[in-house]
Structures are given as C-alpha cells and as structure tokens.
Amino acid sequence: MEKSVLLASKCYLTPEGRGLIACPCCGFGKTVDFKDAIPVNRNVRIRCKCGEIFGGFLEIRQHYRKQVKFSGRYTNLTSMKSGRMTVENISRMGIGFRVMGFEYFEEEDMVKVTFELDNSKKSRILANGSVKYIQGNFVGCRIHQIREGEKELGFYLMP
C-alpha cells in the first residue's frame, strides 16, 4: 500500500528542463531532467527513496533566483516615496523585496533599489526597475538597469 502525503515541493527548471527537487519529508534532493516532457499543468507526483509520495510543481526560470536577506532602501520613482526594505530574492533580471512600512505600489511603477551583498567586499548594488507583482508588503520587480555593482552581482549569483 502506498503512503500518500499532502506535502508539496517546488522545482525550478532551467529552460532546458533540468532542475533539483527535494523531498519535503526527508530532504533528499534529486536532479531531474524533463527535456521535452514537461507536463502542461506543471504538476507532478514524486516518489522519494524514503517511500513518501509528494506533489511537485515545476517552474521554469530563465535566470537563477537566489533566496537572500539583505537590508536596503527603495525609492518609488512614480510616487517619489522611499523607505527601508528587506531583499528576499534576487536574480540577474529581478528582485523581490518586502517593505518595512505599508507603502502603496502599483504595477509598472518605476523603482530604484540600493542594497549591499553579503560577499567579502560588501558590494553595493544600485538598480532601476519596474514593479511586476505585489502581494501585501511584498513587491516583485523586473530589473531594467544595474547602475552600480553589475559585475559583482553576476559573480554572486553563480550557482
């Protein structure tokens, strides 16, 4: 008889269909290669070597996204309001951050963000972008231009 658990895991795939999926029960990770066989709804059922069966959601990303926790500042160039933020994830083309207060953002607002990486040089990153996603006090932005620290960010994001 199969053990069935209502746990789920997210797997970020490269455009070529490769990624790493981890069992939410035991933490075992396995590299998967879907190539041309990515399910249309992107949902899969996975059986782990520990015997658990869990659901997986496949998400395809063009650029590697790294989970981080940096303090920084933002300026909403559309409303000219600024404040403190915590950067929660970063990629070459996007940034996700949480604002400290309750700031109102609209999709397509232009923003400027400044923060420091946690590398040995404490590299300063200054970037401009536009708001693509808002949920509560979490804001997801597309980066249009990295005005300072582009090379350092590239090295930092190497998997």
Mean pLDDT in runs of 10 for the chain (159 residues)? 58 76 84 72 82 82 80 95 94 92 87 95 96 92 94 85
Residue 43 corresponds to which amino acid?
N
Q: Same domain for 70 and 55? A: no
CATH code (residue 106): 2.40.10.220
Query: What range does the domain containing 131 cover?
Result: 66-156
Residues 6+ apart with CB under 8 A from 94: 63, 65, 129, 132, 140, 141, 142, 143
Rounded to two decimals, the pTM is 0.64
Q: How far apart are CA 132 and CA 96, in angstroms?
A: 10
> Are residue 53 and residue 83 in the same domain, yes or no?
no
Q: What is the pLDDT of residue 31?
A: 81
